[in-house]
Structure 1
Amino acid sequence: MADNEFGYTAWARDFVRLAEPLRVTKPEPLLPRARSIARNHGVRTELEGTVVRAHIHRGTEASVTHLEFTPLPRPTVEALSAIVPADTLTLSDELHAAVGAAGISVAPILAGTDCSCRARNARCLHMLATCYAVVALIDENPWLALDLQGYRAATPETDSDVPVTVSRWTPIDALDPVTYFG
């Protein structure tokens, strides 16, 4: 792992597994190009809660990629708060090892992905490049690994055990023109 330019911290290595899963049946030919795009700052990311929106411009083509992460369940957040002090400035690899030793999994789970490219594949080049760009951001700021999973946004009065389903599309019949345009 020392030769890899992405995933220097233990917190970022969990996110590398989104692009490079351990269980693969064949090599992924898009990974070198995706790493090159992320390495050369070809991915412009916007982070909002558990959603990452990325804009990628290559030549004359542009695409917008969305990654949405599943929030950590309430028991995991409570167990993490017992291990990770609230006044911790940076998350070290030793802290990640302590979390793992306590049996707490902080590996990210993708709730959904979407890309505007022509590939129409969940694992397109842009999705992989976005994963590597997120890993580079987490290498710089390990707290981002937990923030993207809603760790600091989880409050005691919210219940993150109950999955919230948000409709991806709004039917046109559900809109009231008076309140929409008013």
Structure 2
Amino acid sequence: MADNEFGYTKWGMDWVRLAEPIRQTRPDPLLPRARSVARNGGVQITIEGRVVRAAIHRGNEASVTHLEVAPLPRAAITAIGELIPDTAVLTDEMHQAVVAAGVTLAPVLAGTDCSCKARSARCLHVLAVFYDMARRVDENPRLALEVQGYFRGAQDDSPVAAEVPRWVPINALDPADYFGELSPTPA
């Protein structure tokens, strides 16, 4: 397994499985191109909390891809904290121990978006981001937990994680609060 280009650790393989699910019954023609884009530095990723934003350059085309990773449940955070007291160095054996305890470490996507014309949740650009994230997680397995909100959730004292809504209804906004105090215009 060490000769795999992407996902040579169990932590990174979780990201590869997003691109190459085991239940897939036929070859996906986009996967070789997505691996090529990720391999050749065509993906520039910025990670902010549980949101992964990527600018992808392929030839003369450019796309912006947005992935939102669902947070780990409180029970999973607690179980991981008990099984791995020190997360400074994460090994494949630690991954196996957590999975054997019944905790799912694989990332779950809360949403994906891409600016390309394919308008698909599994476009070339999203797949390239999966591979690039697998490479990054292989290099730094802590990123696998960080992007799922483990470290933020482990510091939180509340037993239930508060979910921040992705969208705010327009009628929930107060114009005075949103725009600040509107001063009257002189007549």
In the superposition, the TM-score normalised over structure 1's length comes to 0.90
Shift of residue 98, structure 1, vs aligned partner: 1.2
Distance 1:40 1:10 in 2: 23
The equivalent residue for 1:132 is: 131
CA contact (8 A) 1:71 1:160 kept: no
User: What's the CA shift string for 1:2-40, capped at 9, x where partnerless?
Assistant: 442000111111111100000113210000000000001
Q: 5+ unaligned residues in a row in structure 1: which ranges?
A: none
Say which SS state the counterpart of residue 12 (structure 1) adopts: helix
The equivalent residue for 1:78 is: 78
Distance 1:175 1:31 in 2: 46
Distance 1:135 1:53 in 2: 15
Say which SS state the counterpart of residue 151 (structure 2) adopts: coil
Distance 1:119 1:157 in 2: 42
CA contact (8 A) 1:72 1:160 kept: no
User: What's the CA shift string for 1:27-84, capped at 9, x where partnerless?
Assistant: 1000000000000111000001111000011222211001111100001100110011
Distance 2:177 2:102 in 1: 53
The answer as to 2:54 corresponding to 1:17 is no
The equivalent residue for 1:104 is: 103
Distance 1:73 1:173 in 2: 28
- What one-letter code is carried by the residue in structure 1 that aligns with 2:20? E
Q: 5+ unaligned residues in a row in structure 2: which ranges?
A: 182-187
Shift of residue 162, structure 1, vs aligned partner: 5.5
In the superposition, the TM-score normalised over structure 2's length comes to 0.87
Over the matched positions of the two proteins, sequence identity in percent amounts to 54
Distance 1:98 1:173 in 2: 45
Matches within 5 A, 1:48-127: 48-86=48-86, 88-127=87-126
Change (3 A) 1:159 1:117: farther
Distance 1:172 1:46 in 2: 32
Change (3 A) 1:173 1:150: closer
